[in-house]
Amino acid sequence: MRIRMGIWGLFATVGVALLVATRADAANGDPCAALTDEDNGVPSIYIENGDTQEPLVKKLGKLLMQSSTKLRVFYRNRPTCNIRNDLFSGAQMVTVVDGTTARPVRYIPADPAFDPASAAPTCTVPDTPPAPPIALGIGATYLSSCPQTPAQPADVGVFDGPVQAYGFITNKNSSQVAITAEEGYLAYGFTEGGGEAAPWVVQNLRFKRGNTASTTLTMSAAIRLLPTQMKAAPDSGTSEAIITSVVNSNAPEATIGILGTELYDQRRADIKLLAFKSFGQRFAYFPDSTSTSFDKQNVRDGHYLPWSPTPYIAKVTRGATTIADPNARRFHELVMGTRAGDDVDGLPQVVGSGLVPTCAMKVTRAGDGADLALYDAPAPCGCYFEKNVPQGMTACTACTVGDDAACNGGKCRRGFCEAR
């Protein structure tokens, strides 16, 4: 199978809690509403997010705690469909979720030396009312891929967030460099000995997330399987667990897993991402223009297909067009790069987390595995994105005339001349 690195032309084809947190860097297990060694009177927001979104939540959360208008982020990692259910049913941020599982609530400390690449400290919340409401949910794939119960309430909205790509990963010592959708279907679609694609023929060396996780929802759609049809080792609880299983495998050639590419970007020294050839494509593509770049060029222009937007879920105003809670709205607007007059710039945190802002995309789709269509961002930022990813570069002309000003036949946006 051939792998092409170059670029094709375009083708169509968690309610808020304004709780007063008393001081941060507390020992694990302290009540979230009574942290020690923290600033008093800091407004707080409780978020549920997919674990692929944790890097962004920590990066942006740190800046918000250093802002002149501080906001403390409490968050918990949850599978996308569980997030949907929690936000649509008005669930609260309890410690024991789904009746049996204790899931820690993490928070961003006030310490400016906090490293977002490290684990955030944890705290506890009540398991009975009044537990804090979830102000914002951040999923990582189309909610249409989830069971549609409970139904979406009229006072809850779903808003687009940055694009998240996914892929197949292998052990660093594997000789494999690419996989076709057909091979993915055969490998994950059949039990061991049932006709799957070599070398991925050992079921306990095929790793996936649970069936409500965005990673599984998006990757199963990319190979035309239902999540429940994927034959693999017992479901890994987290993306980090998949990475650990792949890294520690003593049979590199037969090992395969699925992962969000922004987590892969942080672990490139430890694991390998396979180029992917979708049904009907002539070549396999990496998410980026080369195996060593970070520009997500092939995601942005439609050559690399396993991707989806990150839906932001929150209560809305009566007109259902605006996030009602000001802290949840602030967080989302910072992520989207649309907030003015704030001393926090969210877009660099999106780019630095391996996600693609929608303003840098040139294609769109209606659901997991759906055909692509051309997309013209109202205020494109492709040049800014290309320049600011790791090892970033752009052929665009720099500009200093201010956003929306005329520039080389287009408009100046975030310091570069964009086409429109």
353-387: pLDDT as tens digits: 999 999 999 999 999 999 999 999 999 999 999 99
pLDDT digits (tens, 9 = 90+) for 29-46: 568 887 766 665 789 999
Which comes out higher in pLDDT, residue 48 or 340? Answer: 48
Are 133 and 328 within 8 A, CB to CB? no
Are 5 and 290 within 8 A, CB to CB? yes
The pLDDT of residue 78 is above 60 = yes
If you average pLDDT over residues 149-175, what whole number do you get? 96
pLDDT digits (tens, 9 = 90+) for 259-272: 999 999 999 999 99
Q: Give the long-range contacts of residues 239-243, CB within 8 A, separation 24 or more.
A: 239/51, 239/52, 239/209, 239/215, 239/263, 240/51, 242/169, 242/207, 242/208, 242/209, 243/169, 243/267, 243/270, 243/271
Q: What is the pLDDT of residue 40?
A: 58
Q: What is the pLDDT of residue 32?
A: 86
Q: Would you place residue 23 in the very low, low, confident or very high pLDDT band (cuts 50, 70, 90)?
A: very low
Neighbour tally for 237: CB within 10 Å: 15
Distances (CA, A) of 190 to 179, 186, 237, 296: 16, 6, 22, 31
Are 360 and 304 within 8 A, CB to CB? no
The pTM score is: 0.89
The CATH architecture to which 163-307 belongs is 3-Layer(aba) Sandwich (3.40)
Mean pLDDT check: name the lowest of 212-216, 236-240, 276-280, 353-357: 236-240
Which among 206, 218, 133 is positioned nearest to 167, based on CA atoms? Answer: 218
H or E element, residue 168 = strand 163-171
Which comes out higher in pLDDT, residue 99 or 52? Answer: 52
Q: Please report, rounded to a whole number, the percentage of residues in the chain having pLDDT higher than 70.
A: 91
If you average pLDDT over residues 342-356, what whole number do you get? 97
Dist CA 322 CA 156 (whole Å):
10
The pLDDT of residue 276 is above 50 = yes
The pLDDT of residue 19 is above 60 = no
Numbered ranges of CATH 3.40.190.10 in the chain? 163-307
**Residues composing the chain:** 420
The pLDDT of residue 135 is above 80 = yes
Q: What is the pLDDT of residue 37?
A: 60
Q: What is the pLDDT of residue 41?
A: 76
Residue 401 has, within 13 A of its CA and on its CB side, a CA count of 14
Are 332 and 321 within 8 A, CB to CB? no
Q: What is the pLDDT of residue 193?
A: 80
If you average pLDDT over residues 193-206, what whole number do you get? 90
